Amino acid sequence: MTRSVTTRRSTVGRRAARTAVVLGATAGLTYSLPSLATLRRLRLRVTPHLAGIGAADHVALTFDDGPDPVSTPQFLEVLAELDVQATFFVLGSLLADSPALAREMVAAGHELAVHGWDHRPMLLRGPRSTRYQLERTRDLVAEVTGRAPRFVRPPHGILSAGLLVAARDLELTPVLWSAWGRDWTAEATPRSVLATLAPDLHGGATVLLHDCDCTSAPGAWRSALGALPEIAAR
């Protein structure tokens, strides 16, 4: 059986298209595979270090999405009363607007870490954009506070291969969380935050809360603020 040149070219074209689709899907899966760590129970079992499981004699208290000149100072005040230090995963775009507040946070003994320049999920960014987000925020933290950040937590806790590579190159350690208060919803209250945290609030835990509502329901940060004294007591 013979085929025309046109038929052969058409067959080759279809095969090439199928191959491109397979390769693209494989590349996309590989790039997004780390995002499975977003599933908290899975990462607690498989990657406890990434989940923030640490020494059993302490709990790491962390806040995302700030700094905010309205809400963050109120957290600083309560934390000072409780004599508790925390790690704040900051957005570079907000840090650029409140450098004095950031210096106040560090002067109070708190740690600043990288959350990203904005809150767009890193999985929606390519490798170059991801690195730019992290590097820009890292450099601004170092410039404003005089201390280079050590940790990175991507928005929504969604990892990607691009983020892991960039974090390694920038000497940033990714860390997510093992306990959260779901304090970003409009229905959240100090009592609901405590109830949500309770099953996972134990030695070695890393607790996720929010000191800003820039990506949450308006005023939702008050639920985390109100829960802080009891969290410290527990």
In this model, does residue 54 exceed pLDDT 80? yes
Please tell me the predicted confidence (pLDDT) of residue 44.
59
Band of residue 47 on the pLDDT scale cut at 50, 70, 90: low
Q: Flag whether 1 is in a domain.
A: no
> Looking at the domain assignment, is residue 208 inside a domain?
yes
Per residue in 181-227, pLDDT (tens digit) is: 999 999 999 999 999 999 999 999 999 999 999 989 999 999 999 99
Q: Residue 91's pLDDT is what?
A: 97
pLDDT for residue 9: 54
What percent of the chain has pLDDT above 90? Answer: 67
Which is it for the CA torsion 210, 213, 215, 218, positive or negative?
positive
Show the tokens assigned to 128.
Answer: 């170059």
User: 5-14, 93-102, 113-122: which range is least confident on average?
Assistant: 5-14
Taking CA atoms, 139 is separated from 14, 77, 85, in Å, by: 47, 27, 23
Inside any domain, residue 129: yes
pLDDT of res. 21: 39
Q: Which domain holds residue 102?
A: 36-233
Are residues 189 and 223 in contact, defined by beta-carbon separation less than 8 angstroms? Answer: yes
Give domain status of residue 89, yes or no.
Answer: yes
pLDDT at 18 over 90: no
Quick one: pLDDT at residue 111? 98
Taking all residues of the chain, what is their mean pLDDT, rounded to a whole number?
85
**Residue 13 within any structural domain of the chain:** no
Residue 179 lies in a domain: yes
Burial of 130: CB neighbours in 10 Å, binned 0-12, 13-18, 19+ = buried
Residues tagged active-site: 64, 210
Note whether residue 56 is domain-resident: yes
Asked if residue 160 is part of any domain, the answer here is: yes
pLDDT tens digits along 62-78: 999 999 999 999 999 99
This prediction's pTM? 0.82
pLDDT tens per residue, range 152-167 = 999 999 888 889 999 9
Q: How many domains does the chain have?
A: 1
Question: Residue 117 belongs to a domain with what CATH number?
Answer: 3.20.20.370
- In angstroms, rounded to a whole number, what is the distance separating the alpha carbons of residues 220 and 185? 6
